[in-house]
Amino acid sequence: MAAAVGSRQAGVRPSNARLLAALPLLFAAVVGLQVMRDRDRRPYEPPASALWFRSGDAVKRMALGFDNVLADLYWMRAVVYYGGQRLQTTATPNYDLLDPLLDLVTTLDPRFNVAYRFGAIFLAEAYPNGPGRPDLAIALLQRGIERTGRWEYMHDIGFIHYWWLREFPKAAEWFERAAEVPGSPAWLKPLAATTLAVGGDRRSSRLMWQQLLESSDSEWLRGNAEFRLKQLDAMDLIDSLNVAAEQHAARLGRVAQSWQTLAPALGLRGVPLDPAGVPLVINPTTGRIGLAADSPLQPLPDEPPPASAPAPARPQL
């Protein structure tokens, strides 16, 4: 102490070398302790997430003019929540908070386009990949139409009627309504006509996904459309191969049990691949060709049709 005072008196500043040398050691110690803490104890995660505020109007008042930023934060939470439930390994993912979250987002920012469009996709997705609630998806989009009148939401409602509910006349009706909105694209009219004429036909499905792929500015939506188009390609390929396999079976009087016998008979050089690059498989009992269980294109949309798919323990939103 006396030496320190003496050195200060002499005008020499005390050296920080020891203190600076201690810093890396202290940091190393804190990292070590953190690793031990992480090993020792996992942070508590409640079995179900909680949403403290459900009233969009109340949250809007509390936002004090920063409604848009709060809407962004709730939107990120909705995306993470949906992704987290979808990816979780338990047999019964719970999507209870998805609709209230989307309602909060769209009340805080009534023009949050992506929240309506993606939100509807999330809500309509069949269980367990989503809550399987096309009714809530349609209600969300209808709120969007009331607030903004955008043709895209009318198109999306038509799409939900077409793809998930298999209600083709209603789908055509919504495409028609979307086509009447000034500034809507010209392809909506023929889409409405095709849907009405050949609803449920794979060509009209392809047309719809193709339009979505070409018209969407969202990478995620385009990726989804590409995936669905690959599924439709896979279905076409499987159908054509099954027809050829049936003809081969009729000629031989028995079904082919493997590609070793079937591929040369059909003039194929090897095992045919699905559009995702995974080899197709043959059911040795029935001789039917289908997707491999590990194909990323599974499950194909018509196996079984979504509208009649049994929903295991579907939660109520």
Partner 1 sequence: MRTIALVAGAVFKESVRDRVPYSMVAFAVLLIAASYLISQLTAGQDLKIIKDLGLAAISWFGLAIAIFIGIGLVSKEVERRSVYALLSKPITRGQFILGKYAGLVFTLVVNLSAMTVAFAAVLAYVDAVTAAGVKAGWPAPALDPRLLVAVVLTIAELMIVTAIALFFSTFSSPLLAALLTFGLWVAGHFNQDFRNFEVVLDVAPAVWLGRALYFLLPNLASFNLRAEVVHGIDVPARAVLLSLAYAAVYISILLVASVAVFRRRDFK
- Contacts with partner 1 by CB under 8 A lie at 61, 64-69, 71-72, 75-76, 79-80, 109, 111-114, 117-118, 216-221
CB nearer to partner 1: give 213 or 271.
213
Chain-centroid distance of CA 36 in Å reads 37
Q: Report DSSP state, residue 289.
A: E
CB 124 → partner 1: shortest distance, Å? 15
CB nearer to partner 1: give 215 or 257.
215
CB 114 → partner 1: shortest distance, Å? 4
CB 297 → partner 1: shortest distance, Å? 21
Q: How many helices and strands in the chain, by DSSP H and E?
A: 13, 2
User: Which has the closest alpha carbon to 76: 119, 131, 107, 46?
Assistant: 119
CB 179 → partner 1: shortest distance, Å? 20
CB nearer to partner 1: give 222 or 248.
222
CB nearer to partner 1: give 36 or 62.
62
For residue 151, give the H/E element and its range. Answer: helix 151-163
Sign, Cα dihedral of 137, 141, 143, 144: positive
CB 220 → partner 1: shortest distance, Å? 5
Gap between the Cα atoms of 188 and 89, Å rounded: 40
270 CB neighbour count, 10 Å cutoff: 8
C-alpha neighbours within 13 Å on the C-beta side of residue 257 = 3
CB nearer to partner 1: give 118 or 127.
118
